Structure 1
Amino acid sequence: MHPLASRPRYLFKDDPELLREQFRCLSDAYDPITLPRLAATGVTEGWRCLEVGSGAGTVAHWLAERVAPTGSVLATDLRPPAFDARPGLTVLTHDIRHDPLPEAAFDLIVARLVLQHLPERRTVLDRLVRALVPGGVLQIDELDTSYEPPLLTPDGESARLYAKFTATRSAAMRAAGGDPHWGRHVPAALRAAGLVDLDPQPHILLRGPASAALRLQLHLSHHLHDQLLAAGMTEDELLRVRELMRDPSFHAASSVLYSVHGRRPGPRNAS
């Protein structure tokens, strides 16, 4: 593996407790989108699958159940995976930018909210395409944070505060080398990488009381505390925006999640 110094400047602290809560919020918010999209690929017994950036492992475990008993799932993450291997499911600490990846090896590859954090996203995308068998499918789920307006707030000042929070969070991502708007560019990027049968699907969630989508934003206000301050928020503003997001009357639209399928040209041989 490559030394720690070679790793990308990820936005998030390498804190196990903070990461566990983030993975929980992400799974609760986005599994209801990601899993039906994966089912739509036809993934079934015998398929060989790769998940890049496996987080809590909910997607990898779902795939492992679908492809059992003759298929396989490789789940990778830059950090040691937060879940254990099982028959048909291999977990691997892996840097998708540099570490070896077999070519023409997988019937299905999924990467959710990973590539937008990597300055080398186009190069990584090409690697993922080469790792597909002919006829294999790549699913990329990424956000475009240019749209996430407040819908119900106590007053205009609260709406402006929330808008500053979301803009500052996106600025912190850019400062770390990410592209918070990359979701809208995924379909064109998959086409440029040579994939066909493109199927982009946009999804918007409601950030309302007790929703996983809103819990995620509250979590990010803590997880990204230092980065948000460096990007222009104050301690008082962070305290006030957290109080706002706990207000039972608060509602906002989420960012747009683009879930995009593309297929590598050619017939897919039976696994």
Structure 2
Amino acid sequence: MNPSSHASAATVAGPRQGYVFDNDTTHATEQHRCLAAWLDPVTTARLAGTGVTDGWRCLDIGAGGGSVATWLAERVAPTGEVVATDVKPVRIPARPGLRVLRHDVVRDPLPEETFDLVHSRLVLRHLPERHTALAKMTRALRPGGRLQLDEFDNDYGPVLLAPSRAAGELYERFLAAKERMFADAGADGAWGQRTAAAMREAGLVDIDPVPHVMPWHADSAGVHLLVHHTHHLRDRLVAAGMTDAELAEVRQVMRHPEFRASSCVFYSVQGRRPR
């Protein structure tokens, strides 16, 4: 991968118009903080299970705020390398052993048979060309190399307790509006449950999907993320049918000490390229 050539390609093409989250806005820092607090413990525990260690070459696609890429760089030091990519890699911190590239996984090429480990979290669900990107990730693995995809399934995530029935119904309308918004942008809200089969179809073996569901309350990182989305995604949520008054009210519902909900299902799926 040539950093300069890939930077120019991604800059000309730009991010996909329908993509909901922009890595270069004032909202991105809180978005990444909440995601890391909620999901990094699951992601890094699964990655550790691959045996990733000194000398490995790793690729983190759609690295966002760089928390996972930084964790990997610490594991592969001092002789390994992590390549962290994003269409706008402005939030990924610089550190030894971590190479940051501006790269679009759909439009830009990846080197083949290069990496011991490829990871991507909450990227393919947003891409209509997700199967094309998955095939490209698979080819980037060395024979015997591991791919880990971490993805949501938003078909599940009920409210379990709210201050009132009306409050619970409002929360569910908010989640439904979010799903309409993502669907309009080309996302697949249930991609998590389809990831394992897609990896098998891409030619990977030893597929191991592990679902995770977390209990939520007002102080949960996942709930903080949803509250943040009422600001971050305000315009899109209004277009999807919510009003500003409803967004203000659902914020209060999620901050209520009695609020309890289940997270959506978070699938961490691993597979191996055959030797």
- Aligned with residue 42 of structure 1, among 48, 51, 54: 51
User: Are 2:215 and 1:174 equivalent residues in the alignment?
Assistant: no
- Aligned with residue 7 of structure 1, among 4, 15, 18: 15
Structure 2 match to 1:117? 126
Q: Distance in 2 between matches of 1:12 and 1:69?
A: 33
Contact 1:81 1:92 in 2 (8 A): no
Q: Distance in 2 between matches of 1:89 and 1:237?
A: 43
Q: Distance in 2 between matches of 1:133 and 1:188?
A: 21
Determine helix, strand or coil for the equivalent of 1:17. Answer: coil
Contact 1:207 1:253 in 2 (8 A): yes
Residue 5 of structure 1 deviates from its aligned partner by 5.5
Q: Distance in 1 between matches of 2:43 and 2:23?
A: 25
What is the Cα-based RMSD across aligned positions, in Å? 1.2
Q: Distance in 2 between matches of 1:3 and 1:28?
A: 30
Structure 2 match to 1:214? 223
Q: Distance in 2 between matches of 1:46 and 1:13?
A: 33
Structure 1 match to 2:92? 83
Residue 13 of structure 1 deviates from its aligned partner by 4.4
Q: What do the CA deviations read for 1:88-135 (whole angstroms, capped 9, x no partner)?
A: 110111111111210000000000001100110000000000000000
- Aligned with residue 67 of structure 1, among 61, 73, 76: 76
Contact 2:34 2:221 in 1 (8 A): yes
| Structure 1 residues 168-207: aligned runs within 5 Å | 168-207=177-216
Contact 1:108 1:132 in 2 (8 A): yes
The 1:201/1:108 distance shift into structure 2, 3 A limit, reads same
Residue 3 of structure 1 deviates from its aligned partner by 4.6
1:230 aligned partner, one-letter code: A
1:28 aligned partner, one-letter code: A
Q: Distance in 1 between matches of 2:10 and 2:149?
A: 25
2:33 aligned partner, one-letter code: R
The 1:261/1:225 distance shift into structure 2, 3 A limit, reads same
Q: Distance in 1 between matches of 2:236 and 2:272?
A: 37
1:142 aligned partner, one-letter code: E
Q: What do the CA deviations read for 1:47-104 (whole angstroms, capped 9, x no partner)?
A: 1000011111111111111111111100011113313332211011111111121000
Q: What do the CA deviations read for 1:196-244 (whole angstroms, capped 9, x no partner)?
A: 0010000011221211111011111111111111111111111110111
Structure 2 match to 1:269? none
Unaligned runs of at least 5 residues, structure 2: 1-8
Structure 1 match to 2:35? 26
Q: How many residues align?
A: 266
Q: Distance in 2 between matches of 1:234 and 1:15?
A: 26
Contact 1:101 1:131 in 2 (8 A): yes
Contact 1:206 1:213 in 2 (8 A): no
Q: Distance in 1 between matches of 2:32 and 2:189?
A: 18
Q: Distance in 2 between matches of 1:55 and 1:6?
A: 16
